[in-house]
Copies of this chain bind each other. A is one copy, B any other.
C-alpha cells in the first residue's frame, strides 16, 4: 500500500431493508460505512462519522477488523442514524419508508489531525453545510470526491454550488445531475457542472454502468451482467469507496488510471449488491476483485474496424 490516506465522511447507520429477496432489520449500513469498507481493500482508510450509544459493538469490531481507523468516529448520546426502505423488482429505485437522523441532527464532523493534510477525501451524501465544514478542515487534499442527493439539490442549492466549486469530482446519479443542472440531456448537464468549477463528474447509473466526464475526455464504464442482485443499498457508496481507495493506492490521477478507478468502483458495487448490508464485502477476496476487473475488460472489449472492409 502507498502512504496515502483516505478520509471518508458520512453516515453510520442501522438499516431496515426489504427487497424481493428478503427483509433484514437493523443491519449495518450508512454511506461512510459502505465507502470505508470498500476503500479499505486498497488504502488506509479513516472513517469520520457518528453513532449512538445503541450502536452494536460487533459492528465496531467488524470495522476495526477491516483495518479502518476510527479516530474520527464519535459515539454520541442518543440513537444511531436509521434508514428503512424497500425495493421492488426495479431495484434501481429505492423507496424510503423512514429516515431517523437522530444523532446526525447535531453531528459536526471533526477530521483527525493525522489526516488533515494531503489526504484523499470522500464526502458522502450529507448536508452541504457539513461538507463545507469538512473542506474547511482539510489542507491541500490530494483529491476530493463528493456525493449529494435530490433533497440537497432542491433545499440547499446555493450551498451545494459552493461544494461543487471546491471538489475535484462530483458523484451523482443521472436523475440528480439532470435535476441539479435543470437540463434533461446528461452530457449537456455534465458540461454545465464542469463549467461551475468541478474537474469532473461521475454519473452513477446503477445497473447501466457509470460515466465519467472531464473537460478533456469522456469515459463510459460498462454495466455488469449482475446475475446475483439481492440488495442495492450502498452500491453508490461502495463504488465511491473503491474508486477513491484505488486512486490513493496508486497515487495516479492521470486519465488512464481514472478510467481504471471507475471500473474498480463498479467492481466493488457489483460485489456489494450480491448480498444484504456488508455481507458480501465481508468475505470478498482481493483476487476476486482482480478477476472481476478482468471480466469487465473482457465483456466490454471490441476491436478496431478492419479498414479493408470499407469502401
Chain A residues proximal to chain B, CB less than 8 Å: 20, 89-91, 178, 184-188, 190, 205, 207-209, 211, 213, 217-227, 229, 249-250, 256, 259-260, 262-263, 286, 290, 293-294, 297, 299-307, 309-311
User: Which of B223, B286, B299 is the one whose CB lies under 8 Å from A208?
Assistant: B223
| Max count, chain B CB within 10 A of own CB: residue among A211, A297, A299 | A299
Distance (whole angstroms) from the CB of A302 to the closest CB of chain B: 4
Q: Roughly how many angstroms separate A218 CA and B303 CA in the complex, as a whole number?
A: 15
Q: Please tell me if the beta carbons of A297 and B304 are within 8 angstroms of each other in the complex.
A: yes
**How far is A150 from B152 in the complex, measured between Cα atoms in Å?**
38
Contact, CB under 8 Å: B256 / A303: yes
Select A222's contact among B178, B222, B311, beta carbons within 8 Å: B222
Could you tell me if B310 and A220 are in contact, using CB atoms closer than 8 angstroms?
no
Assembled-state Cα–Cα distance A218/B223 (Å)? 11
Q: Which of B219, B293, B304 contacts A305 (CB 8 A)?
A: B293
How far in angstroms is the closest Cβ of chain B from A63? 23
A209–B208 touching, CB < 8 Å: yes
Which chain B residues border A205 with CB–CB below 8 Å? 208
Task: Give A198 Cβ to nearest chain B Cβ, in Å.
Answer: 17
**Complex copy number for this chain:** 2
Q: Which of B218, B250, B300, B310 contacts A225 (CB 8 A)?
A: B218
Contact assessment for B185 and A226 in the assembled complex, using a CB-CB cutoff below 8 Å: yes
Q: How far is the CA of A297 from the CA of B218 in the complex (A)?
A: 11
CA of A225 to CA of B219, assembled, Å:
9
Measured CA separation A211–B207 after assembly (Å): 12
Question: Do B219 and A220 touch (CB < 8 A)?
Answer: no
The CA-CA distance from A221 to B205 in the complex, in Å, is 15
Complex contacts, A91 vs chain B, CB 8 Å: 184
Q: Is the CB of A90 within 8 A of B213?
A: no
- Return chain B residues, CB-CB under 8 Å to A186: 207, 225
Query: Once the chains bind, are B220 and A302 in contact (CB under 8 Å)?
Result: no
Listed by A's residue number, 9 A-B pairs whose Cβ atoms lie within 8 Å are: A187-B225, A188-B227, A209-B209, A211-B223, A217-B299, A221-B302, A250-B306, A260-B302, A297-B304
